[in-house]
Structure 1
Amino acid sequence: MSSANSSVKPTGQPCTILVVDDDEAMRKLLVDTLQEKGCQVIESENGTEALNVLKSVVPNVIVTDLKMPGGGFPYLRLLQEVAPRCPIVVMTAYGDSQSKAKALECGVHGYFEKPLRIFDLKAWICQMCLVHPCGNLPFS
């Protein structure tokens, strides 16, 4: 295995996903949905907490809100620096084409506007877990 893939988990292990959102109801919905699909989920309620989590855990995918305490575009840049090989998806209720372009410039791989369709987000996560192999996710 090359050093570029050293953080990738072997096939058969669940995808580890960091879910970051200050909206407790949204965070719980995402955590419950992903856990039901066999994912290992770590949750954080703000950007600062998420960056602290990344000091000890490298998830396979990061799903994060944009506008929250400790969030914003500087936060996205820090996520990219701390976990450069980890795909990042942004969820936001304040989406527009300018915000999307700026988020993509910060290194995010996916961008979803709230209210989001859970099915679409699950499909995106499944694709990222296939690109960054970490197990078989029974998404349907």
Structure 2
Amino acid sequence: MPGKVNPVIPIAVCQVAFAITGNDASIAMTCQQGMLEINHFEMLVCDRLIDSIRLLTRAAEIFSRRCVDGIVANKKVSHKNLLASSALATALVPTLGYAQVSDLVRTALAEDRPFIDLIIEKELLTESEIKGLMERLIGGDNAPN
């Protein structure tokens, strides 16, 4: 499919997690079989532990370099999505009360529209009041211009 990006690096990181989980199981089993003063399986414990450290270090480096470095958030889209989300309803509970906010969220979900639009439509708060509450919640410096 044109433009499709396969998540090969995140999938590889998941595979590393599986390998490390297997190493952890090996370490746990060998430690259970060892005696207090002498453990004939120390070499396996060391080998699996060092392997896990190596795998995790390399996976973190590759994931950071190829998947995380250079990511830039689209502030306008993120802000729009945030304001359209009912997750912010909690911030309005002190102002409007739990029952009223809960009703607004249910109505917004049923009508498939942002709950903030309902608040403005019902004249419970103005757009600038909502913006002030949200800016205090998410930080005024983070809001797009």
Same fold (TM over 0.5): no
Which bracket does the TM-score occupy, shorter chain normalised? under 0.3
Normalising by structure 1, report the TM-score: 0.24
Q: Quick check: which one's helix share is greater?
A: 2
Return the index of the structure with the highest Cα Rg.
2
- Structure with higher RCO (Cα < 8 A, 6+ apart): 1
